[in-house]
Structure 1
Amino acid sequence: MTLAQTNTPQTADTILAADRKGRRRLLLQIGGIVAIIVLCLWLTGMLDGGRLADGLPAIGTLFAEMVPPDFTRWRQWVEPMIETLAMSVAGTALAVVLSVPLGFLAARNTTPNKWAYQAARLVLNTLRSIPELIMGIIFVAAVGFGMLPGVLALGLHSIGMVGKFFAEAIEHAHPAPIEAAEASGATSLQVISHGVMPQVFPQFADVTMYRWEYNFRASTVMGMVGAGGIGTELVGSLRLLDYPQVSAVLIVILATVTIVDALSNMLRKRFQ
């Protein structure tokens, strides 16, 4: 019997044992995740069938009161909707402008040193951890009512997420163009502009468009804390318990979100 024939059964047994061990480990991990999900559902009351059943009639009554929608005040919603759109565009622009340098500082392959990397990551984590609604309340208290606090809240909160995605796109850039630019004696700025940006620009455009969609939806909430926009009209109708107008405002928001989504998809295709 040759050495290869002697080792073949042992090798096969080893492979099968490792495969079984891997399967058991995977099943244990899936079981642990399922257990955590079930625990969270129980803690939040999602498994309380009686409570959910008691709430269904109230939800049905609320929806019944919202029909038919009342569009009699639609002319008064045009300006707030334009404000909402303007806030989303301005907030996204602010986020992108500030996220580009932070993204390069937070990427391992373009940051000047580890201290700049850690500082940039800390800034992104901090901004991402504060909800835009809380930022809106803070900025309303600081600069007063209107669209400005909404733009600042949307923009600064967006930096945390947009900058993170920008940094990840930069880190996944192919090293060959970067090394070629460095070998030719290019400066750091030239390496970024010629070796990195051509690769990551499509990803930057995608992230920007997705964030604009998100910011438009989030800007409707900004009006609830006094930051202007269509959210102010929505809160006013809710406080008056004018549910037909609430449903009308929600329909207008849904239609505008659909238009923004279609425009965003069109722009993404342009930048691909």
Structure 2
Amino acid sequence: MTKPHRTIWQRWNWLLWVVVIGALYYWTINGLKFTGLQESAGAVSRSIVDGLVHPQWSYVYDGSGEDLVSLILQTLAIAFLGTIVSAVISVPFAFWAARGTHERFFLRSGSGKVVLTLIRTFPEIVLAIMFIKAVGPGSYAGVLAVSIHSIGMLGKLFSEAIENMDRGSEEAITSAGGRSGQVFALATVPTIMPEFFSYTLYRFEIAVRSASILGMVGAGGIGTPMIFAIQTRNWPKVGIILLGIVIMVLLIDSLSEQLRKRLI
């Protein structure tokens, strides 16, 4: 069996991609201006490593409410509440942005997708700074930032789940004479809810990481003492905070993975 004839472009188009990618690498690397290392870089690096290797264990818990355990729990509360609020609000946005099987010009779904894209445009840290100006520093601003940004992300994921869902159960109930409300309650909701829960858990994992950073701008959580410790070069305190964040993230990721396996 003879091989199909390939044109010159089909045989050598990979070379064009190599040139384009090489040019992009050259442009990006050439745009970086390396100014060298400061004279104190070695001493500072040794201090950072020493602090990370010998963390401040006394900061783990002291009952003041400003210790590591208390602020880790506050960070988890910010992420959890922000995710729950966004998951509930994202549902109507998802049905708005989901493309229907009988939609001809996609005006409804297209406008919904644009709104969700606009919501996702603002990074969480920018939203946190804006809400701090509106409601003051603290956990409330962090919850608002996480929840608003998560609406854009979960709304997009939920809408894609609705678009790609199996329509077999809907068609079966419709053919049996079921009404639209019965189709929605008995077929649509049971089909999409496992994916909705799975995406919500995945978003909670991301929200935990985000909530750890939002405190650096005053939005509550473990980020606030971490930025203060970095500014004062209290590296043992930075070390124990980073250790706490790593353990928190690993536990949340492991628990979330187990829950997602049970749902799907």
**TM-score > 0.5, shorter chain as reference:** yes
Contact 1:77 1:233 in 2 (8 A): no
Aligned to 2:157: 165
For residue 59 of structure 2, the aligned residue among 73, 88, 100 is: 73
Q: Are positions 1:64 and 2:49 aligned together?
A: yes
Aligned to 1:5: none
For residue 131 of structure 2, the aligned residue among 97, 120, 139 is: 139
Aligned to 1:202: 194
Aligned to 2:13: 25
Contact 2:59 2:240 in 1 (8 A): no
Residue 166 (structure 1) shift: 1.2
Residue 53 (structure 1) shift: 11
Contact 1:104 1:110 in 2 (8 A): no
One-letter code aligned to 2:191: Q
Aligned to 1:102: 93
Aligned to 1:4: none
User: How large is the RMSD of aligned CA atoms in angstroms?
Assistant: 2.8
* Secondary structure, aligned partner of 1:174: coil
Aligned to 1:228: 220
Residue 250 (structure 1) shift: 0.5
Aligned to 2:5: 16
For residue 88 of structure 1, the aligned residue among 71, 79, 89 is: 79
Contact 1:178 1:191 in 2 (8 A): yes
Contact 1:139 1:152 in 2 (8 A): yes
Q: Are positions 1:129 and 2:121 aligned together?
A: yes
- Give the TM-score normalised by the residue count of structure 1: 0.82
Residue 233 (structure 1) shift: 1.4
Contact 1:106 1:117 in 2 (8 A): yes
Instruction: Say if 1:246 and 1:111 are closer, same or farther in 2 by CA, change over 3 A.
Output: farther
Per-residue CA deviations over 1:34-78 (Å, capped at 9, x if unaligned) read 432442233245xx5x84899974773353342311122221222
Residue 102 (structure 1) shift: 1.0
Distance in 1 (CA, whole Å) between partners of 2:43 and 2:11 is 47
Contact 1:108 1:117 in 2 (8 A): yes
* Secondary structure, aligned partner of 1:229: coil
Contact 1:69 1:244 in 2 (8 A): yes
Contact 1:166 1:204 in 2 (8 A): yes
- Give the TM-score normalised by the residue count of structure 2: 0.85
Contact 1:178 1:196 in 2 (8 A): yes
Structure 2 residues without counterparts, runs of 5 or longer: 62-66
Larger Rg: 1
Aligned to 1:262: 254
Residue 122 (structure 1) shift: 1.8
Instruction: Say if 1:239 and 1:56 are closer, same or farther in 2 by CA, change over 3 A.
Output: closer
Per-residue CA deviations over 1:124-174 (Å, capped at 9, x if unaligned) read 101111000000011111111221110110011011111111111211123
Fraction of identical pairs, as percent: 34
One-letter code aligned to 2:48: F
Distance in 1 (CA, whole Å) between partners of 2:38 and 2:230 is 24
Contact 1:237 1:243 in 2 (8 A): yes
Instruction: Say if 1:28 and 1:218 are closer, same or farther in 2 by CA, change over 3 A.
Output: same
**Correspondences of 1:36-75 after superposition (within 5 Å):** 36-45=24-33, 51=36, 57=42, 60-66=45-51, 67-75=53-61
Residue 200 (structure 1) shift: 2.8
Return 50-59 or 68-77, whichever deviates more.
Answer: 50-59
Instruction: Say if 1:30 and 1:186 are closer, same or farther in 2 by CA, change over 3 A.
Output: farther
* Secondary structure, aligned partner of 1:16: coil
Contact 1:136 1:222 in 2 (8 A): yes
Size of the aligned set, in residue pairs, is 257
